[in-house]
Amino acid sequence: AQSVTQLGSHVSVSEGALVLLRCNYSSSVPPYLFWYVQYPNQGLQLLLKYTTGATLVKGINGFEAEFKKSETSFHLTKPSAHMSDAAEYFCAVSVSLANAGGTSYGKLTFGQGTILTVHP
């Protein structure tokens, strides 16, 4: 079974400040990890993902995250917050599934979400 814990349901930063959103996961097999952003009344948009290889992953809009296996963490950061970053952010975990057609991605298990507020 897999699970995700996001530390902090609300994070508030000033424009231009560092953004740090925390995510810890639990998985019995090597995980695939994701960060999604959701703006009000919209669907989920992928920010970045880690599957294999380099543990520092860069995504869209200047965000990046580092997979730390020893800490079971996948924290999301951005050096300088913009007003447009205000949204809800979800960390998610998936695992690979081997089947006749090759390796596929299993269901996503999401954390509870972190609402990011950016002050002028």
Q: Indicate the residue among 61 and 104 with the shorter CB distance to another protein.
A: 104
Binding residue for another protein, selected from 24, 27, 72, 110, defined by CB under 8 A: 110
Q: What is the four-CA torsion angle of 23, 57, 26, 98, rounded to 10 degrees?
A: 150
Based on the shown chain and the rule CB under 8 A, indicate whether residue 104 belongs to the binding site for another protein: yes
Binding residue for another protein, selected from 44, 64, 72, 77, defined by CB under 8 A: 44
Nearest distance from C-beta of residue 4 to another protein, angstroms: 8
Instruction: Identify the burial level of 77 via C-beta atoms within 10 angstroms of its C-beta, where 0-12 means exposed, 13-18 middle and 19 or more buried.
Output: middle
Binding residue for another protein, selected from 90, 93, 116, 118, defined by CB under 8 A: 90
| Start-to-end CA span in the chain (Å) | 41
Eight-class DSSP state of 33:
E
Based on the shown chain and the rule CB under 8 A, indicate whether residue 59 belongs to the binding site for another protein: no
Based on the shown chain and the rule CB under 8 A, indicate whether residue 51 belongs to the binding site for another protein: yes
Cβ of 2: how many Cβ atoms within 10 Å? Answer: 18
Q: Which two tokens stand for residue 33?
A: 């990890």
The residues that touch another protein, with contacts defined as CB under 8 A, are 4, 9, 34, 36, 41-46, 49, 51, 90, 92, 99-105, 107-113
